[in-house]
Amino acid sequence: MPFRAWNLFVIQALGGILLYDVKNSYICSYTYHHKDYFLKKESFINIQKGCTAMEKSLNEETYEKLKYDIMNFKLLPGDSISAQKIAIRYDVSRTPAREAIVNLEKEGLLKIIPQSGTYVACINCKRSEQEWFVRKSLEIGMDAIFENASDDMLDKMTQLNNRLINYKEEVENIPRIEIDNEFHKLIYECSGEKLAMNIIQTQMSHYNRIRYLAELNKSISAKTNDEHEMLIEAIKNKDKRMYLRVIKAHISRIFNELDKLKGIYPEYFEKN
């Protein structure tokens, strides 16, 4: 925690101590040597703008870490969340923690209940259907893929799908869904649809959590691999009809598996 003396704030950060001159908007940087227990004075740098950038970066980093943990079920639906818990979990102050709560509540990943607290939101199937509709509408419009696809891109798609086919968590150290996202990202980038890519990656929180659960089930994930192979073949042959048929089935299939997933993870879904 920072403490104030005259016009100075002393802030512990990154293995050292920063002495901030509030009056003159300067940071006096000091290095803290734990062995010798003394402060070595270094240069004075005017970084008022830099401080703002650092604060913004910390807010974004805390938000991204918390969202990642929710999306990947490191924090489970129904888990209690508070600014204090987030601050401790990610070693930040309560300011970026509160900011993350506000933003993720807006995205529907956190639920604030008055007189009770803040909780990780359960998966809302109605919202996931709306998110799916947006994704389907965007994905079927990627016509430029047939004009722009290169052999290099098709090779990258094949490599990613091979990683999914041979997926072992202890080897990859990332969830299957992240590799799957990289596969589809190549399609968006090749089509020149960066805005669509951003919307799909950031605004599909409930739909993508269902995808994550589906990819944990081998019988479901095997179908993903087969459909990826068909998508690669359709792009290679410039077969738009086949591509549309496969992509529609591909992004809709999890709803055919929804009852199965609800049976395995009933506590993760909102009760109707």
Of 79, 74, 105, 68, the closest CA to residue 201 belongs to 68
CA distance 152 to 218: 29
Q: What ranges make up the beta strands (E) of the chain? A: 3-5, 8-13, 16-21, 26-33, 38-45, 80-81, 110-113, 117-120
Question: How far does Cα 155 stand from its chain's mean position?
Answer: 26
pLDDT digits (tens, 9 = 90+) for 170-209: 899 899 999 999 999 999 999 988 888 888 888 889 999 9
Backbone φ, ψ for residue 26 (5° rounding) = -120, 150
Rg over alpha carbons for the chain, rounded to the nearest Å, is 23
Looking at residue 269, what DSSP letter applies? B
Residue numbers in the chain where pLDDT is lower than 50: 1-53
Contact between 228 and 164 (Cβ < 8 Å) = yes
The pLDDT assigned to 56 comes to 58
Contact between 147 and 190 (Cβ < 8 Å) = no
pTM of the model: 0.73
The pLDDT assigned to 5 comes to 42
Q: In the numeric block, which tokens belong to residue 24?
A: 């003159």
